[in-house]
Amino acid sequence: MLELQSIQTDIIKADHLTANAGERVLLSGPSGSGKSYFLRILADLIPWQGSIQLDQQPVNGFSGPEWRRQVMLVPPESHWWLPSVGDHFSHPRQAAVEQLGLDPAILGRDPQYLSSGEKQRLAVLRAFDRRPKVLLLDEPCANLDPDRTSLMEDMLTGWCKEEAGLLIMTSHDPAQRQRMADRHWQIQDGHVIDQGDSQ
């Protein structure tokens, strides 16, 4: 589904990586190794050389906005620009909001008063609404306690299964990798290496 070949920038290299629909790929590496940067390459937000294909179609076969709708990055700091949280969703999301451990009344609130963890969970739900094929998440559980982390992991796993979506997420947590990873990509000395399903 997603295939990368000979990716090269000043900071990151990747020889050949593939990931399939429905998979959960966990991206690890030391702090500052380039995990967030690599997600930005996949979203075609920074210059890079090489080849990235989605369903055998190269990036340049898509307009920029269409590529980023299909290969969607949710950064750790999400942006909210409408008066209430619910205004950002195309259809009612009460059930999903509850599944993430949030009070559905949050949909009526002003986004500027949300906590980091609330914003993080709602940003993922908002991304689901746009039906991406690939979801790129930068530490989606960074601001969540263990219970909410577990709810988020269940929701992400459900999305991969139900939508045949490909999830690529960064994580510093080996236990999370053990729970979630169908495939483990690791950044070592500037190279992104597929460690298979090794935990």
Q: Give the interface with ligand ATP as residue ranges (CB under 6 A).
A: 11, 29, 31-37, 46
Q: Which one, 45 or 59, has the nearer CB to ligand ATP?
A: 45
Q: Smallest distance from the beta carbon of 147 to ligand ATP, in angstroms?
A: 24
3-state secondary structure 4-58: EEEEECCCCEEEEEEECCCCEEEEECCCCCCHHHHHHHHCCCCCCEEEEEECCEE
Q: Smallest distance from the beta carbon of 121 to ligand ATP, in angstroms?
A: 19
Q: Which one, 43 or 114, has the nearer CB to ligand ATP?
A: 43
Q: Which one, 41 or 106, has the nearer CB to ligand ATP?
A: 41
Q: Smallest distance from the beta carbon of 83 to ligand ATP, in angstroms?
A: 31
Q: Which one, 124 or 169, has the nearer CB to ligand ATP?
A: 169
Q: Which one, 86 or 140, has the nearer CB to ligand ATP?
A: 140
C-alpha to C-alpha distance for 2 and 15, rounded to whole angstroms: 14
φ, ψ (nearest 5 deg) of residue 32: 80, 5
Give the strand pairing for 134-137 and 71-74: parallel
Q: Smallest distance from the beta carbon of 185 to ligand ATP, in angstroms?
A: 12
C-alpha to C-alpha distance for 63 and 132, rounded to whole angstroms: 15
**Structure tokens that stand for 12 in this block:** 């990151």
- Residues 172 and 139 sit within 8 Å (Cβ to Cβ): yes
Q: Smallest distance from the beta carbon of 11 to ligand ATP, in angstroms?
A: 5
C-alpha to C-alpha distance for 69 and 54, rounded to whole angstroms: 12
Q: Smallest distance from the beta carbon of 39 to ligand ATP, in angstroms?
A: 8
Percentages of the chain per state (helix, strand, coil), in multiples of 5? 40, 25, 35
Q: Which one, 47 or 146, has the nearer CB to ligand ATP?
A: 47
Residue 81 exposed, middle or buried by CB count within 10 Å (0-12, 13-18, 19+): exposed
